[in-house]
């Protein structure tokens, strides 16, 4: 049963391309977009949204941007406090400015947060013109890319802005990265996340080849106090990593290493491509890979070599193919939920993937130091989230409550925001649970560890058992049609002759004649028993005599009708020696129930009739010149053991 996840939706006045949560307070979400440089009649804007309610999103502040400039293409919060948010955005200057070799693509904004003066004040919307610099809305404009003017091309823009993880106000130092889009020669620029970043804050650059772009990039700190960071990016085919120090000054080219390359496909096939990546830890990456020709996507966990293992190659340790309905994966984000004091640094990560079918796939990934990362387990699928393709997905930052957890600590949750070309914003609220529940120093999880594995194991076992059962049923039915098994399922009765003919009739006997001297010789009798009567050595009847006697009784008395006549059943059984076989004749009243394993002459297939005629002729119960008409109305039981073995030997 899919979990119930609360969600809220809001429609704004323009297409949206960028979004980021306030890392300090997940109640605030920034979104940006627009119609571009005066081409669509739709303005460019940035909005601050209130997402504190489960089923409602409200707009608090709206920043109107110039219609002569481009729309907001990327966005990331750089610093935050209880009073304000400072964020960086990618906005191209006007075409006129670009022709003058002046594209101030990196903008810094500051938005004052509403004061805690009641719900009415919180929900008041204010509109701030972009020129209202005296209100500290627009802090700075700058250009950090080296490819400018004609060299950059008129379509070049700031495609991505990414910040290192938020570690709280006590660790404000962060670094950022921006990448080009549609540039003749791609570029990645790293800088200190200052209030107003300038050329002097640049700490490194990566120059890409002609026509090469960074599909995605991510930054993570080393977890130590050395102010060093690890960077990973992909050009779609290769994955590169490098080390970065926040204390470095200048535009020194960084030492980049290619740690993984998608293997070449078979001749005539196209190569898959990486769409996005995120750090799980300083030594692990999560990659979103799309198969060629819109044939699906999958997630991969890549184990990276440490800084001391330069000669060691990266290795894929986990793979997970997503639903077949997701033809292309569009976006990826992760949220690490932290560790607990009693769980040996075990941690769960939530993974969100947006698909081309306007859906979001949520998965969980468990980690423990002894076994590493486990399997990626699906949590739920959110369908038809937006009316148009999603352009961005992001998690809020989860900060676990301090230990020990007291009863006063409220429910914990993570928010997931997504935006689209259809002007829509949707925020899902994912409830978290403490694990272990009874612990006062727990870690928090979206899915309780073990439950996903248990359900996956149960489902796999049930699938395997059901598959074996279906195969057994089909094999038994096939054997019954071929005459190699008793009719336990009665397939030959309820399955039409046309379908049975597809599987073939019972396998005929070998062409050489079988020695039938062991069959009992027939002895004629003049009466027909009206009680069940199986022939014995002292009282034998031939089939010919029984049929003649029944015909004489019908002709002698009008009272004997078809409904009151006796059934004649022909058996084939194994003799006392356990090897040879003999034919036995049984007569029972027609009103007595007949076993399901018997069939009338008309119900037998062509090859079944051939087998019985040969056996009856060999035992002296029937002759060819008597014709098949006399056999109509006689019931025939299943083949005896010896004949069944012959049939099985002939089966493929």
328 CA to centre of own chain: 13
- Residue 332: φ, ψ to 5°: -145, 140
Once rounded to an integer, what is the mean pLDDT over residues 387-414?
92
Which helix (H) or strand (E) element contains residue 17?
strand 16-21
Which long-range contacts does 45-53 make (Cβ < 8 Å, 24+ apart)? 45/12, 45/13, 45/14, 45/72, 46/72, 46/75, 46/89, 46/109, 47/12, 48/85, 48/111, 49/10, 49/425, 50/122, 50/123, 51/8, 51/26, 51/27, 51/415, 51/417, 51/427, 52/27, 53/8
Tens-place pLDDT, residues 142-196: 999 986 544 555 688 999 999 999 988 766 678 999 999 989 889 999 999 888 9
pLDDT band at 596 (very low <50, low <70, confident <90, very high): low
Residue 83: Cβ within 10 Å count = 8
Whether residue 404 has a cis bond before it, omega within 30° of 0: yes
Kind of pairing, strands 175-181 and 315-321?
unpaired
The DSSP annotation for 427-493 comes to EEEEE-EEESTT-SS-EEESS-TTHHHHHHHHHHHHHHHHHHHHHHHHHHHHHHHHTSS--SS-HHH
What ranges in 115-254 are assigned the alpha helix state H? 119-122, 149-152
Given this model, what pLDDT does residue 140 score? 94
Residue 528: Cβ within 10 Å count = 17
What sign does the dihedral 223-77-285-300 (CA atoms) show? positive
Once rounded to an integer, what is the mean pLDDT over residues 454-474?
69
Tens-place pLDDT, residues 517-532: 444 434 333 333 333 3
3-state secondary structure of 632: coil
Whether residue 130 contacts residue 64, with contact meaning beta carbons closer than 8 Å, is answered with yes
Given this model, what pLDDT does residue 565 score? 64
> In sequence order, which residues have a C-beta less than 8 Å from that of residue 309 and are 6 or more positions away?
none
Instruction: In whole angstroms, give the CA distance from residue 59 to residue 127.
Output: 10
Q: Is the pLDDT of residue 276 over 90?
A: yes
Q: Is the pLDDT of residue 561 over 70?
A: no
pLDDT band at 508 (very low <50, low <70, confident <90, very high): very low
Instruction: In whole angstroms, give the CA distance from residue 555 to residue 559.
Output: 10
Whether residue 590 contacts residue 526, with contact meaning beta carbons closer than 8 Å, is answered with no
Higher-confidence residue of 224 and 93: namely: 93
Given this model, what pLDDT does residue 566 score? 74
> In sequence order, which residues have a C-beta less than 8 Å from that of residue 134 and are 6 or more positions away?
none
3-state secondary structure of 95: helix
Dihedral angle at the C-alpha atoms of 155, 195, 51, 161, nearest 10 degrees?
30
Return the minimum-mean-pLDDT range out of 173-182, 312-321, 382-391, 538-547. 538-547
Which long-range contacts does 523-530 make (Cβ < 8 Å, 24+ apart)? 525/549, 528/553, 528/566, 528/587, 529/587, 530/566, 530/587, 530/589
> In sequence order, which residues have a C-beta less than 8 Å from that of residue 235 and are 6 or more positions away?
208, 212, 213, 214, 215
Instruction: In whole angstroms, give the CA distance from residue 23 to residue 276.
Output: 21
pLDDT band at 275 (very low <50, low <70, confident <90, very high): very high
Among the listed residues 6, 119, 3, 2, the one whose alpha carbon sits nearest the alpha carbon of residue 414? 6
Tens-place pLDDT, residues 618-641: 777 887 777 887 888 788 876 555
Q: What are the E-state strand segments in 463-620?
A: 533-534, 566-574, 581-589, 599-600
Could you tell me the maximum CA-CA distance found in the chain, to the nearest angstrom? 125
Given this model, what pLDDT does residue 342 score? 63
> In sequence order, which residues have a C-beta less than 8 Å from that of residue 440 and are 6 or more positions away?
403, 404, 405, 406
What is the overall mean pLDDT for the chain?
81
Given this model, what pLDDT does residue 522 score? 40
Residue 191: Cβ within 10 Å count = 24
Best-predicted range by mean pLDDT among 130-144, 372-386, 559-573, 590-604?
A: 372-386
What sign does the dihedral 598-603-604-605 (CA atoms) show? negative
Best-predicted range by mean pLDDT among 94-108, 534-548, 610-624?
A: 94-108
Given this model, what pLDDT does residue 575 score? 63
Whether residue 152 contacts residue 145, with contact meaning beta carbons closer than 8 Å, is answered with yes
């Amino acid at each position: 049963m899919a979990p119930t996840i609360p969600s809220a939706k809001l429609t704004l006045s323009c297409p949206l391309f960028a979004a980021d949560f306030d890392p300090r307070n997940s109640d605030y979400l920034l979104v940006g977009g627009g119609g571009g440089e005066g081409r669509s009649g739709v303005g460019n804007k940035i909005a601050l949204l209130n997402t504190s309610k489960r089923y409602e999103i409200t707009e608090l502040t709206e920043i109107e941007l110039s219609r002569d400039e481009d729309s907001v293409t990327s966005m990331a919060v750089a610093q935050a406090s209880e009073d304000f948010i400072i964020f960086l955005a990618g906005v191209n200057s006007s075409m006129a400015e670009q022709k003058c070799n002046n594209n101030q693509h990196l903008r810094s904004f500051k938005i004052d947060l509403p004061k805690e003066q009641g719900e009415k004040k919180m929900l008041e919307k204010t509109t701030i013109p972009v020129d209202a610099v005296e209100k500290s809305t627009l802090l700075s404009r700058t250009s950090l890319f080296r490819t400018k003017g004609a060299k950059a091309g008129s379509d070049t823009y700031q495609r991505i802005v990414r910040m290192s993880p938020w570690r709280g106000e006590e660790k404000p130092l962060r670094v950022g990265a921006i990448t080009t889009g549609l540039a003749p020669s791609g570029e990645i620029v790293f800088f200190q996340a200052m209030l107003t970043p300038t050329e002097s804050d640049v700490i490194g650059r990566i120059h890409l080849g002609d026509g090469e772009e960074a599909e995605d990039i991510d930054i993570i700190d080393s977890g130590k106090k050395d102010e060093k960071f690890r960077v990973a990016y992909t050009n779609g085919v290769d994955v590169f990593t490098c080390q970065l120090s926040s204390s470095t000054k200048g535009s020194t080219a960084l030492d980049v290493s290619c740690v993984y390359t998608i293997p070449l496909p078979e001749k005539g096939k196209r190569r898959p491509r990486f769409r996005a990546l995120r750090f799980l830890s300083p030594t692990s990456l999560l990659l979103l890979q799309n198969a060629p020709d819109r044939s699906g996507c999958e997630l991969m966990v890549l184990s990276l070599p440490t800084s001391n293992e330069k000669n060691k190659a990266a290795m894929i340790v986990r793979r997970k193919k997503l639903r077949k309905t997701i033809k292309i994966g569009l976006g990826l984000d992760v949220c690490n939920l932290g560790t607990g004091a009693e769980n040996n640094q075990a941690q769960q990560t939530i993974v969100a993937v947006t698909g081309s079918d306007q859906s979001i796939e949520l998965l969980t990934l468990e980690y423990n130091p002894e076994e590493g990362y486990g399997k990626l387990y699906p949590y739920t699928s959110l369908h038809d989230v937006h009316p148009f393709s999603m352009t961005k997905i992001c998690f809020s930052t989860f900060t676990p409550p301090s230990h020990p957890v007291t009863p006063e600590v409220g429910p914990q949750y993570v928010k997931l925001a997504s935006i689209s070309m259809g002007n829509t914003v949707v925020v899902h609220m994912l409830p978290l649970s403490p694990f272990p529940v009874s612990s006062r120093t727990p870690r928090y999880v979206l899915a309780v560890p073990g439950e996903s594995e248990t359900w996956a194991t149960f489902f796999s076992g049930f699938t395997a058992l059901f598959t074996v059962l279906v195969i057994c049923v089909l094999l038994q039915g096939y054997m019954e049609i071929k005459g190699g098994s008793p009719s336990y399922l009665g397939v030959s009765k309820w399955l039409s002759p046309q379908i049975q003919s597809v599987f073939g009739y019972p396998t005929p006997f070998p062409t050489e004649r079988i020695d039938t001297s062991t069959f009992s010789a027939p002895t004629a009798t003049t009466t027909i028993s009206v009680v069940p009567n199986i022939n014995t050595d002292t009282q034998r009847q031939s089939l010919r005599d029984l049929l003649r006697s029944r015909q004489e009784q019908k002709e002698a008395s009008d009272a004997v009708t078809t409904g009151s006549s006796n059934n004649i059943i022909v058996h084939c059984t194994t003799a006392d020696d356990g090897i040879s076989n003999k034919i036995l004749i049984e007569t029972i009243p027609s009103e007595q129930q007949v076993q399901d394993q018997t069939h009338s002459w008309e119900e037998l297939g062509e090859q079944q009739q051939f087998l019985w005629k040969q056996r009856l002729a060999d035992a002296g119960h029937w002759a060819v010149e008597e014709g098949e008409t006399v056999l109509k109305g006689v019931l025939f039981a299943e083949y005896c053991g010896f004949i069944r073995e012959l049939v099985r030997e002939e089966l493929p």
